[in-house]
Structure 1
Amino acid sequence: MDSMVNETETGKAIDINRIMEMIPHRYPFLMVDKVIGIIPNVSAIGIKNVTINEPFFQGHFPQRPVMPGVLIIESMAQTAAVLVVETLGPSAEGKLVYFMSVDSARFRKPVGPGDQLSVHVFKERSRGNVWKFRAEAKVGETLMAEATYAAMILDN
């Protein structure tokens, strides 16, 4: 078995090195540190360890650091992109995933330094290179944000 991909009780776990082979995002815009419980063509859970060292905290907000909601949505999209590559196989590695729509986005509670954000992504459907997902972002068992979104997978 590849040392970067491990089996868990609920599916595969993929580490940061493998994620960077699968999707083109890089620091400071890589918003997922690992993916656990990945079930190809079904679901995945992305983990983002939120630290005070995140560059966005310098200005959002210095007195009360809050992870921007759009970056929580981006974490959802990147987790979904890993799920897509895992589903489609090596031919999909490094392809770009473009948002087509974000619907029903709700931000329930702020995410801040020290939080571990778990992003639960569920594939709703796919047709050709268009995929639709539903996602929830949680800290522990607390729902922080949720959204449905569509993305198009393209060659770079």
Structure 2
Amino acid sequence: MDTVATPEAQAVATAKRTMDINEVMSFLPHRYPFLLIDRVLDLQTRERILCLKNVTRNEEFFQGHFPGQPMMPGVLMVEAMAQAGCILMLSEFEDHRDRLMVFTGIDAAKFRRPVTPGDQLHIEAKVLNWRSRAVKMQGTVHVDGKLVCEAVITSQMISRNKKQEGAE
């Protein structure tokens, strides 16, 4: 017999979940200059996540990419999509501080427009395939509503404590 969720339970299940930078940092081991998520705007469990990254002139990568005409490296936009996906997957686990997500694949990466200082990235990751320890996601980055980067990303979850993995 199927059970029907109460309106309150349905509201919680579909509620928009946001995170500030402090909560983001509790999910990701990255720190400046590799922390590429400033805020989570919307998290829908096992479906999608929408994050924000404010790109500022003082980002370290702008010193050498490219002097006089600064552009955010495409690989960092792909990394931002992966970090968003990491938060999405780890949000399922109370012990998320003991877990780590690592890249296992990047496919169909395309870079459509340059990202420059002052841009605000809207980073989205949508679940294509979810398993208990791995996920495949379609990632996109938009600036001012225009697509600037996209890729299919696969990641796997591992323990942050390598000693636990080899313990008997």
Is residue 91 of structure 1 aligned with residue 95 of structure 2? Answer: yes
Q: Which residue of 1 is the match for residue 43 of structure 2?
A: 38
Q: Secondary structure at the match of 1:62?
A: coil
Instruction: Tell me which amino acid in the other structure corresponds to 2:52.
Output: I
Q: Which residue of 1 is the match for residue 87 of structure 2?
A: 82
Moved over 6 A (4+): none
Structure with the larger helix share: 2
Structure-1 separation of matches of 2:112 and 2:98: 32
Question: Among residues 6, 19, 24, which one is paired with 2:24 in the alignment?
Answer: 19
In structure 1, runs of 5+ residues without a counterpart are 1-6
Structure with the larger strand share: 1
Question: Among residues 144, 158, 165, which one is paired with 1:154 in the alignment?
Answer: 158
Q: Which residue of 2 is the match for residue 3 of structure 1?
A: none
Instruction: Tell me which amino acid in the other structure corresponds to 1:32.
Output: I
In structure 2, runs of 5+ residues without a counterpart are 1-11, 161-168
How far residue 10 of structure 1 moved from its aligned partner, in angstroms, is 6.6
Structure-2 separation of matches of 1:10 and 1:20: 22
Q: Which structure has the larger Rg over C-alpha atoms?
A: 2
How far residue 99 of structure 1 moved from its aligned partner, in angstroms, is 0.6
Structure-2 separation of matches of 1:91 and 1:148: 27
Residues 89-135 of structure 1 deviation map (CA, whole Å, 9 limit, x = unaligned): 22123522111110000000000100000001101112231110001
Instruction: Tell me which amino acid in the other structure corresponds to 1:56.
Output: F
Q: RMSD of the TM alignment (CA)?
A: 1.5
